[in-house]
Structure 1
């Protein structure tokens, strides 16, 4: 086999914010690793979630019909996906402790492949191994860029496989270059995340906000709507005209009408997210859209919410299909052809 080191410039790391380099390996992060004290101070668990590569892909052009990903020992059982042209052509399961994940039966001929890493654990890649004689060239990702911010329901650690998270379903269907900022338990309208999105190139932005704030009671009735307004305003500072979907929580069982410890219900939070979007519309923002979370996942899908909070693997795929229909069908969001 021909070994391509993870640091080789022929490999494109898509969906990453920063890369950590160790002795012979590269680990993707979804926040700037050099600024962990700003993004994840004190007792915050954001760093641990940002170290998990949800939506991160290793991209290359090759004619190989098989390849292997060499990595540091993986912490638990999981899967990687390999996609060509947005289609999953191979899924490779592995067991805890594995140091190699192998794909076989890839389409013949020249192609750009994307290896979707597991969203459920940190992954430090050592190399890509190709058969002798197979070529490897850089495949730049020039597709329209989508930045998606959200909670564990956007992180999707329990998706069936890495490319079947709901953002993965949408990105593959729309041919987007996805950057997923879904952080399990850690979507609290953090100012530094809003600043990060502000400064990233983006052709489409989505923010799905509320459920972590409800669960942790991190913002009360006085602060919740202002925090949503501030998140939108900060992002708009860098992307004044980019299509922007602001999503409220999906159906949440008894959380719908049961106040949390500081008096918020999901029904109330949806109304406040909707009002925040309307405030920007009243000021002339014609490219911001309110997406009711119940349009993405409502009570009729309760069988796919096994813990009454997180969708199961099928639920995530349904949620992706519903996002496609609601955002690009019903609401008619149009995403431009040039990065902003």
Structure 2
């Protein structure tokens, strides 16, 4: 019997606590600026997109950890199909019987994408178990709660996970609920991370928090893109402007801008880079990702898609993002 511990993908760093439990960071911990980035660090510690893969003909998957009351579940996939969704709230331990698998089956464990969470154990025991090496283009995607996908029923139903599965990509998800504010630590993390494709959906958090004005939003986005470009000068970079949020489209925030203003400013910044010769920088108009009727039907709080809404986003975005790699 062989016991193989999880080898994680989709994170920047792992911290082992005093009790041996693991916590994760999707951003470079050295880049934080306490106390200003404390909430950003909290969101980056949530395990969105973090997963492990094994090859096996059968065995027992053991998972143990602790999750907050709002913690999302685990997803277990066998050969790409979800077979188990397991709760991660409170202290927990799960043993998943996988004894009847076909030889060389691919087992994937996706950690809870939302909620404070630590992991005590993730091992697969069996007669012939090995860690599986992921293949395919490496994709980094950055964004707000709409990329973090708190409202998705499980981690593999977040739109970045769906796009990665559809296109055969290795995902690094930098969805940071409420914290997509063009922070230097995020740009620096992307700069340090190998990538074949980078995407970013920006503007909605800046609107909601009134963080950037007409004077400051464009230069902040410019600086963020410049940091990425110094490290990844030729990697396709796709900028997605804010998706529709009908009550916010023409409602002025505290700095005098509407969501439509942030969408137009995002497009204008991309146009400047393109005019200066960046042929690998692309724009997706976020207003086309969901129709107005879908925004009414699939955004229960007028801001965040539900699980079906995230599936629509994935269906629309998967081919557009794939086109940037051609």
Q: TM-score, normalised by structure 1?
A: 0.88
The answer (yes or no) to whether the contact 2:78–2:105 under 8 Å persists in 1 is yes
Indicate which of 114, 121, 127 corresponds to 1:120: 114
Give, in angstroms, the shift of residue 83 of structure 1.
2.6
Indicate which of 310, 313, 316 corresponds to 2:307: 313
2:175 aligned residue: 182
The answer (yes or no) to whether the contact 1:141–1:177 under 8 Å persists in 2 is yes
5+ residue gaps, structure 2: none
Taking the aligned partners of 1:195 and 1:149, their CA distance within structure 2 comes to 12
The 10-residue stretch of structure 1 (319-328 or 244-253) with the greater mean CA deviation from structure 2: 319-328
The answer (yes or no) to whether the contact 1:304–1:314 under 8 Å persists in 2 is yes
1:82 aligned residue: 76
RMSD: 2.1
Q: Deviations over 1:211-236 (max 9, x none)?
A: 00000011111101111111111111
Change in CA separation of 1:42 and 1:268 when aligned onto 2, cut-off 3 Å? closer
Change in CA separation of 1:128 and 1:319 when aligned onto 2, cut-off 3 Å? same
The answer (yes or no) to whether the contact 1:49–1:184 under 8 Å persists in 2 is yes
Taking the aligned partners of 2:310 and 2:21, their CA distance within structure 1 comes to 31
Spell out the pairing of 1:195-214 with structure 2 (5 A cutoff). Answer: 195-214=188-207
Taking the aligned partners of 1:223 and 1:44, their CA distance within structure 2 comes to 23
The answer (yes or no) to whether the contact 1:160–1:314 under 8 Å persists in 2 is no
1:62 aligned residue: 56
Tell me if 1:157 matches 2:153: no
Give, in angstroms, the shift of residue 138 of structure 1.
2.2
Give, in angstroms, the shift of residue 293 of structure 1.
0.6
Give, in angstroms, the shift of residue 13 of structure 1.
0.6
Give, in angstroms, the shift of residue 32 of structure 1.
2.4
Give, in angstroms, the shift of residue 102 of structure 1.
4.2
Taking the aligned partners of 1:79 and 1:102, their CA distance within structure 2 comes to 15
Q: Give the SS at the match of 2:253.
A: coil
Indicate which of 30, 36, 41 corresponds to 1:42: 36
Taking the aligned partners of 2:165 and 2:275, their CA distance within structure 1 comes to 33
The 10-residue stretch of structure 1 (108-117 or 258-267) with the greater mean CA deviation from structure 2: 108-117
Taking the aligned partners of 2:72 and 2:177, their CA distance within structure 1 comes to 17
Q: Give the SS at the match of 2:115.
A: coil
Tell me if 1:333 matches 2:299: no
Q: Deviations over 1:246-295 (max 9, x none)?
A: 01000011210111111111111111111111111111111111011122
1:264 aligned residue: 257
The answer (yes or no) to whether the contact 2:135–2:169 under 8 Å persists in 1 is no
1:237 aligned residue: 230
Indicate which of 5, 24, 27 corresponds to 2:23: 27
2:105 aligned residue: 111
Aligned residues: 323
Give, in angstroms, the shift of residue 308 of structure 1.
0.6
Q: Give the SS at the match of 1:286.
A: coil
Change in CA separation of 1:24 and 1:63 when aligned onto 2, cut-off 3 Å? farther
Q: Give the SS at the match of 2:242.
A: coil
2:13 aligned residue: 18
Taking the aligned partners of 1:190 and 1:73, their CA distance within structure 2 comes to 27
Spell out the pairing of 1:238-317 with structure 2 (5 A cutoff). Answer: 238-301=231-294, 302-317=296-311
Q: TM-score, normalised by structure 2?
A: 0.92
